[in-house]
């Protein structure tokens, strides 16, 4: 039976990525060697790294003055690298969920990390607005897509300080104005590649302003200077990322991707709103994520949650159980998820209603 993969991460990747990565693992471009067994300093791998970096720049229209890095340690490593490199007196954080809270906790190790607003009062089901930023903060950190609670900030905010964004679960899902950000980072395992690498897009002129000495592996300047090759980078995830980037470019880039993502998300949200058995946990439409769609059973049908999961599983749906802090269901509709899988889930919800 065909599986419809709604996992939140690691998650579905384009067949193109999986097939080409598998080929490269068997033999990289007639070299007689696997991509896993060539030196990261070989011409072949240097080309892979350069192509991946330049495709990110091309797809997101990254302006001059920015660098693209592929670093180990996942997005969680960035929670500490950001303050290590930018925190001087104070930092501002918008707390929109568990990942944002974790980022904030790491910044607090360095001093005053101000939570400028939080949506914790309603289980992170909305994006706070109308908050004030401390004028003396060194940077403002946001989590653009809240993977667990299904909210998303799609506006490229204008703020009077360096803007830092964790885009782990929505990077490359839409066109964006990179010039508004000092740092954009994300773990690869949603829209890009298998886990093991984080992509970092960084404006060089924000660096070198803190007094502390920074261990080499945590210093963005060292990674920039060594073109992301200061130590042995995660070569297979980077090779896979290159395949996904090519797939995205050939599809027409992030504008086309955004159109597809809008359509997919609308199909599912419309069914959740229409079907009397289900309710979306994010009420305000402008806050609803296009990448992680969270919903629960309505009060009258609470006891049918396990039944629906079983029914959906019998129809090939995988990974729709909601995160334990929200309950219910979460369908992750990342770039690689085909529209056909969303339609299959919608159909499953309709059939369950009839049943």
Asked about 166 being catalytic, the answer comes back as yes
Helix H segments across the chain?
15-26, 43-60, 74-86, 98-108, 220-225, 235-251, 254-274, 305-314, 339-354
Q: Calculate the alpha carbon distances from 8 to 170, 294, 337 in Å.
A: 11, 11, 11
User: Among 138, 170, 190, 219, which one carries the catalytic annotation?
Assistant: 190
Nearer to ligand PMP, 193 or 342 (CB): 193
Nearer to ligand PMP, 185 or 308 (CB): 185
Would you call 122 exposed, middle or buried from its count of C-beta atoms within 10 A (0-12, 13-18, 19+)?
exposed
Asked about 190 being catalytic, the answer comes back as yes
Tokens encoding 258: 């955004």
CA distance 325 to 157: 28
CA distance 197 to 73: 7
Query: What minimum distance in Å lies between the beta carbon of 347 and ligand PMP?
Result: 28
Binding site for ligand PMP (CB under 6 A): 9, 74-76, 99, 143, 147, 166, 168-169, 187
**Helices and strands in the chain, H and E counts:** 9, 14
For residues 170 and 191, the answer to whether their CB atoms sit within 8 Å is yes
Query: What minimum distance in Å lies between the beta carbon of 38 and ligand PMP?
Result: 25
Query: What minimum distance in Å lies between the beta carbon of 128 and ligand PMP?
Result: 17
Nearer to ligand PMP, 147 or 333 (CB): 147
User: Among 2, 57, 102, 166, which one carries the catalytic annotation?
Assistant: 166
Query: What minimum distance in Å lies between the beta carbon of 231 and ligand PMP?
Result: 18
User: Among 99, 138, 264, 287, which one carries the catalytic annotation?
Assistant: 99
Nearer to ligand PMP, 28 or 94 (CB): 94
Q: Tell me the β-bridge partners of 280.
A: 295
Q: Which of 63, 64, 37, 28 is nearest to 242 (CA)?
A: 28
Nearer to ligand PMP, 75 or 312 (CB): 75
Nearer to ligand PMP, 24 or 187 (CB): 187
Asked about 247 being catalytic, the answer comes back as no
Query: What does the DSSP assignment read for 208-250?
Result: S--SS---GGG-HHHHHHTTT-SS---HHHHHHHHHHHHHHHH
**Does an H or E element contain 136, and which?**
none
Query: What minimum distance in Å lies between the beta carbon of 147 and ligand PMP?
Result: 3
Query: What minimum distance in Å lies between the beta carbon of 75 and ligand PMP?
Result: 3
Q: Tell me the catalytic residues.
A: 99, 166, 190
């Amino acid at each position: 039976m065909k599986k419809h993969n709604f996992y939140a991460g690691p998650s579905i990747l384009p067949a193109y990525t999986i097939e080409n990565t598998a080929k490269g693992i068997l033999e990289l471009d007639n070299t007689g060697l696997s991509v896993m067994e060539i030196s990261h300093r070989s011409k072949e791998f240097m080309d892979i790294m350069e192509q991946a970096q330049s495709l990110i720049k091309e797809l997101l229209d990254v302006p001059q003055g920015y660098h693209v890095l592929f670093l180990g340690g996942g997005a969680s490593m960035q929670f500490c690298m950001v303050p290590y490199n930018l925190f001087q007196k104070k930092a501002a954080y918008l707390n929109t969920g568990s990942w944002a809270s974790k980022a904030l906790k790491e910044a607090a190790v360095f001093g005053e990390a101000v939570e400028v607003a939080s949506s914790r009062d309603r289980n992170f089901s909305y994006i706070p607005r109308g908050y004030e930023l401390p004028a003396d903060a060194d940077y403002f950190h946001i989590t653009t897509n809240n993977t667990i609670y299904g909210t998303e900030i799609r506006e490229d905010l204008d703020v009077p300080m360096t803007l830092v964004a964790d885009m782990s679960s929505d990077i490359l899902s839409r066109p964006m104005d990179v010039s508004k950000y000092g740092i954009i980072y994300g773990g690869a395992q949603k829209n890009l590649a298998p886990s093991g690498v984080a992509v970092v897009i960084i404006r060089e002129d924000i660096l070198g302003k803190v007094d502390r000495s920074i261990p080499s592996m945590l210093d963005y300047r060292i990674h920039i200077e060594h073109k992301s090759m200061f130590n042995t980078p995660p070569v297979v995830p980077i090779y896979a990322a290159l395949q996904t980037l090519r797939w995205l470019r050939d599809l027409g880039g992030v504008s086309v991707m955004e159109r597809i993502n809008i359509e997919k998300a609308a199909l599912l949200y419309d069914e959740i709103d229409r079907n009397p058995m289900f309710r979306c946990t994010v009420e305000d439409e402008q806050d609803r994520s296009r990448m992680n769609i969270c919903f629960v059973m309505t009060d009258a049908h609470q006891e049918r949650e396990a039944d629906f999961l079983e029914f959906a599983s019998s129809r090939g749906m995988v990974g729709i159980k909601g995160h334990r802090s929200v309950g219910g269901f979460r369908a992750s509709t990342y770039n690689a998820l085909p529209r056909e899988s969303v339609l299959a889930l919608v159909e499953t919800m309709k059939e369950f209603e009839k049943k």
